[in-house]
Structure 1
Amino acid sequence: MFRPAAQVLVPPLARWRVNPLHVVLLHTALALYAAELIRRGDRLAPALLLQVKTLLDGLDGQLARATGQTTATGRYLDTEMDLVANAALNVAIAGRTGWALTLLQSLILSVDYLWEREYRAARGQIFREAPAQAGDHPQVLALLEAVYAAYFVPQERLLARLFEARLRGAAGGTPTPADQHAYTPLGALTLSANLGLATQLLVLGACVLAGRPGWYHRSLGLQAAALLGTQLWREGRVQRLRARRA
């Protein structure tokens, strides 16, 4: 829904030479304003702002690719501004507990990232094209890399090692290419992709509109449970493959 709508905006913004980084800063500002409105108890305005944020969040990457402005700075900035926005929204709803909920939300989003990486690696596909280096700001990039390394990298390493260990356990040792293929079904990737940030903000917006923003945080537990069940299904696929080989 959001991606096709964002695509419509790419040609005019490209003609106007809009900088994708400015789009990132704009949708972050909208999310922060939405968080303040939620804190005040507003409903319709923040719910709508969150969907505009999602639209622009999908637009910045498309605009960067269409205009040859993909940079490492842009990728890091987009990811980290999403974190800032998510933290502000969660704290606006749950106070200090919002920080812990932001971490849970980040872990759910990291699973999506890692499962897509596993899926493509098992099939010999390129996960993400390397960004162009032209246009990067060395000092800004160094700062963004440091923030990413401090917050996101530990989560990704922990989850990646867990998934690898579970695969080895299910395969009874070093996994074969067939094991890796069985461990990364399209169904699991589809589930995790549909728990991405666009869905998170859509659900949050619906809860805010209903006057029950706290329901969104309850949904995080259900999402985590769904991912856990899917992980067990992934392992079961490998075990059944191993049994058939035996």
Structure 2
Amino acid sequence: MTPGLAQTRKARPADEWAAERIFRPLAQLLVAPAARTKLRPTQVVLFHTGLTLLAAAGLRRGAWLAPALLLQLKTVLDNFDGQLARATDQTTLSGRYLDSEMDVLGNLALLTALHGPLIGPSATLLLSLILSTDYLWERDYRAARGETFRAPAAQQGDNPAVLAALEKFYALYFVPQEQMLSRLFEARLRSVAGPQPTPQDRQAYTPLAALTLSANLGLSSQLLLLGALTLLKRPHWYAPSLAVQAAALLTAQVWRERQVALSRQ
């Protein structure tokens, strides 16, 4: 019997509305038939990356309907690959790295198609920082409450050479971002709580409301927004929206610090 949505979804303290209400339920419809085949999640990742590249090519030509639809199909499949992996015990380190790295490739193609070779890579990096903030805030939320962040992925089935290459790219692109942001968030906590924050300080610093905000800036929401703007024939508004999102996260960070100060009064 194929697991249902509750068993194949990635459990999170805060839900991403677009993923949980739209894309994951649609993706779940594909899990049972796919589980009866030999379809691998990594094949799904490569396929939906191809859809993203097609959407980017369409945006470059000035098309709007086909790219908007392709982006929504890509988002369904982006949720589907993880659900299929969990349903069929195919979660691997290679799969995790490949999914994240192909998303970067797709985002770079989309933003470069819309904004050119100068703004496109910068906007891609800003999007990555927004997504990394959500990753770190969830990690810190769980750590402050003694919860497991993410179960380790199985390495069975990983090709060592492929895994090494994927790990190298992750170390070059993602790790510096995560380290920079992690140090920044820790420094801001210590600026309010002192050099030895207490467990209570860390819980106050990681409120669920801030995590709910960051969760709803996840990739499913990003592509839903870009698709909607494309249907409105305003896809160039997407990059400026990233600056607005970054400002919202900065405001949430100030509020996180304020929660620590209030908890100490």
TM-score bracket, shorter-length normalisation:
over 0.9
Q: How does 1:96-175 map to 2 (within 5 A)?
A: 96=117, 97-175=119-197
The Cα RMSD (Å) is 0.6
Q: Secondary structure at the match of 1:95?
A: helix
Instruction: State the 1:208 CA deviation.
Output: 1.2
Q: Secondary structure at the match of 2:38?
A: coil
Q: Aligned pair 1:87/2:137, yes or no? A: no
Which of 200, 207, 211 is the equivalent residue of 2:233? 211
For 2:88, the equivalent position in structure 1 comes to 67
For 1:16, the equivalent position in structure 2 comes to 37
Instruction: State the 1:87 CA deviation.
Output: 0.2
Deviation per CA, 1:52-110: give whole Å up to 9, x if none.
Answer: 00000000011011101110000000000000000000000000110111011110010
Moved over 3 A (4+): none
Aligned partner letter, 1:80:
E
CA distance in 1, matches of 2:192, 2:106: 38
State TM-score, norm by structure 2.
Answer: 0.91
Which of 217, 220, 233 is the equivalent residue of 1:195? 217
Aligned partner letter, 1:177:
P
CA distance in 2, matches of 1:25, 1:174: 45
Deviation per CA, 1:97-144: give whole Å up to 9, x if none.
Answer: 101110111100100100000011111111111001101010000000
CA distance in 1, matches of 2:37, 2:90: 14
Instruction: State the 1:158 CA deviation.
Output: 0.1
Which of 27, 33, 58 is the equivalent residue of 1:37? 58
CA distance in 1, matches of 2:163, 2:195: 40
CA distance in 2, matches of 1:105, 1:31: 16
Aligned partner letter, 1:149:
A
Q: Aligned pair 1:77/2:94, yes or no? A: no
State TM-score, norm by structure 1.
Answer: 0.98
Aligned partner letter, 1:180:
R
Q: Aligned pair 1:237/2:259, yes or no? A: yes
Aligned partner letter, 1:207:
L
CA distance in 2, matches of 1:7, 1:124: 30
CA distance in 2, matches of 1:163, 1:76: 24
Deviation per CA, 1:21-54: give whole Å up to 9, x if none.
Answer: 0000010000000000000000111001000000
